Copies of this chain bind each other. A is one copy, B any other.
Amino acid sequence: MVTIADVARHAGVAASTVSYVLSGKRSISSDTRDRVQRSVRALGYRPNASARALASQRSNVLALVIPLRTGMHVPVMMQFATAVVTAARRFDHDVLLLTADEGPEGLERVAQSSLVDALVVMDVELHDERVPVLRELPMPSVLIGYPADADGLTCIDLDFVAAGAHCVDRLADLGHRSLALLGTPSAVYERQTGFAQRTLTGFAEAAERRGILGVETPCEHTFDAILGTVEQLLDDHPDITGLVVQNEPIIGPLLDVLRRLGRRVPEDMSLMAICADDVAERQVPQLSSVTIPAERIGEQAVESLIAKLEGSAVPELTLLPPKVIARASTCEAPHGDRTTA
């Protein structure tokens, strides 16, 4: 391996000069700079990451903690992950991958051993045991999602309250008077995962504000569970004409279920999904949806983190506005329902 000393010798300068050429932290004559850069290329020099980290107290590595549990939709997570990696590389950082099952201990480990400079934590729960740990850690972190007590943290998320509300508003505007929210598996609610909770809040508030019926139910991933849940729902509330779904994996089967139950989409039942665009577009009919801007969120997380590393202040909470896209799964409510208002 070629070291900075080799480069220095080759270029006929001191090692520190090479370092300054590379970092730009002191002015260097263009003559010297060129000579050093030529030597760097000629020898194929790459600074040793460990030596650099040790000397500069910066590893240029971010930790990314991904969830590893039931009920999370995998492709969305992956979009986050790749967005984080891509954004990190733009800032000349790398990404260390941690799984959530390492728990709070894992965060301490990578932080206190200076393996990383900062952390991105995904899938934060309302009462997350990692949050107190993050607060104490001697380095910045960013949460994707947010806990009940976000004091002193930096959180980034889709505005799920707005997402839930937008779905209701959209359907209410079309004349629907009875809606249901088909949510994530109950395990996700029991963990009090923020996004599920908040969608529910937005949904309920909007329904109340619009003076319409809004019932909510979790839904597991198996076909039988979906069938059972929907049957029960339509039994209890036969007048429901609008469905909001926040549960990507059930979307396909759900359409089957509705078909089997003789409900045409959108003629008998309007459907709004909260999901990634490609999922919505892949269905028949294509689903009207509220998009989860995973790339943008991952990107924003890294940008905030880099800002914090550079000492800038960043807002405690950044909520990205949801985007509603009307496709083919929503239409006006059947006439009868228009009467009451």
Binding site for B on A (CB under 8 A): 1, 44, 46-51, 53-54, 59, 61, 64, 66, 68, 74-75, 77-78, 81-82, 85-86, 89, 94-99, 101-102, 109-110, 112-115, 138, 221-223, 249, 252-253, 256, 281-284
Contact = CB atoms under 8 A, between A and B. Distances in A.
Given A86-B101, A223-B282, 17 more contacts: A46-B113, A48-B113, A49-B50, A50-B59, A51-B54, A61-B115, A64-B97, A74-B74, A74-B78, A77-B78, A85-B98, A85-B99, A94-B96, A249-B282, A253-B282, A253-B284, A256-B256
Contacts of A89: 102
A298 to B, nearest CB: 12
A103 to B, nearest CB: 12
B97 A222 contact: no
B59 A112 contact: no
20 contacts: A49-B53, A49-B59, A50-B51, A50-B54, A50-B59, A50-B114, A54-B54, A61-B96, A64-B97, A74-B78, A78-B78, A85-B99, A89-B102, A94-B96, A94-B115, A96-B96, A221-B282, A222-B282, A249-B282, A253-B282
Contacts of A101: 86
A114 to B, nearest CB: 5
Contacts of A102: 89
A66 B66 CA distance: 15
A47 B113 contact: yes
Contact of A95 (B1, B50, B54, B96): B96
Given A223-B282, A252-B253, A112 B54 contact: no
A278 to B, nearest CB: 8
